[in-house]
């Protein structure tokens, strides 16, 4: 209809100048902070190293400086931030024979004697042979996986991660 004015909708965005505009900062829906952990980073690194060595049957050559640190908090954009951190270490071998895969899976199953529990496979596809994940009550986890990568290379990997540590 000519002559009729539509109502205007004004949106005020509060950003860096929130104090000047009187707006309160709006928290990100992604940001999450975990409580301070009781585990020290050095202790988490030592335990993860021990688990990789125990399950792989090989000494670990990864220092804490070379380990992957995964932030336990979630930043404003949904990214992983720390401290605290989860420590992640991986051992991998190309073209393992069946005996090595079997021995590695057997050593991983032995974690149940240390109060680890086999994690159920929850994906809709069948669990691949040569794959198992164990977790303890503190939240240390060990995954063994024998798989063919997209490149066609067949690998065996042992990955251990810690709970959050600072």
CA distance 38 to 60: 25
Q: pLDDT digits over 68-97, tens only?
A: 888 888 777 777 777 899 999 999 999 999
Q: Angle 57-62-63 (CA atoms, 0-180°, nearest 5)?
A: 130
Domain extent listing, the chain: 41-161
User: Rounded to two decimals, what is the model's pTM?
Assistant: 0.74
Q: pLDDT digits over 38-71, tens only?
A: 889 999 999 999 999 999 998 876 665 567 888 8
The answer to whether the beta carbons of residues 127 and 82 sit under 8 Å apart is: no
């Amino acid at each position: 209809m000519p002559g009729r004015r539509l109502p205007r909708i004004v949106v005020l965005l509060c950003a860096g100048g929130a104090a000047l505009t009187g707006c309160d900062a709006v928290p990100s829906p992604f940001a999450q902070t975990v409580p301070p952990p009781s585990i020290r980073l050095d202790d988490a690194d030592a335990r993860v190293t021990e688990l990789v060595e125990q399950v792989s049957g090989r000494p670990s050559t990864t220092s804490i400086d070379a380990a992957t640190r995964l932030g336990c908090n979630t930043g404003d954009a949904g990214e992983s931030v720390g401290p605290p951190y989860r420590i992640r270490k991986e051992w991998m071998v190309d073209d393992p024979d069946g005996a090595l895969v079997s021995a590695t899976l057997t050593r991983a199953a032995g974690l149940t004697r240390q109060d680890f529990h086999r994690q159920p496979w929850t994906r809709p596809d069948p669990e691949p042979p040569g794959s198992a994940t164990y977790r303890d009550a503190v939240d240390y986890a060990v995954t063994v996986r024998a798989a063919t990568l997209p490149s066609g290379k067949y690998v065996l990997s042992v990955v251990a991660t810690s709970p959050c540590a600072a």
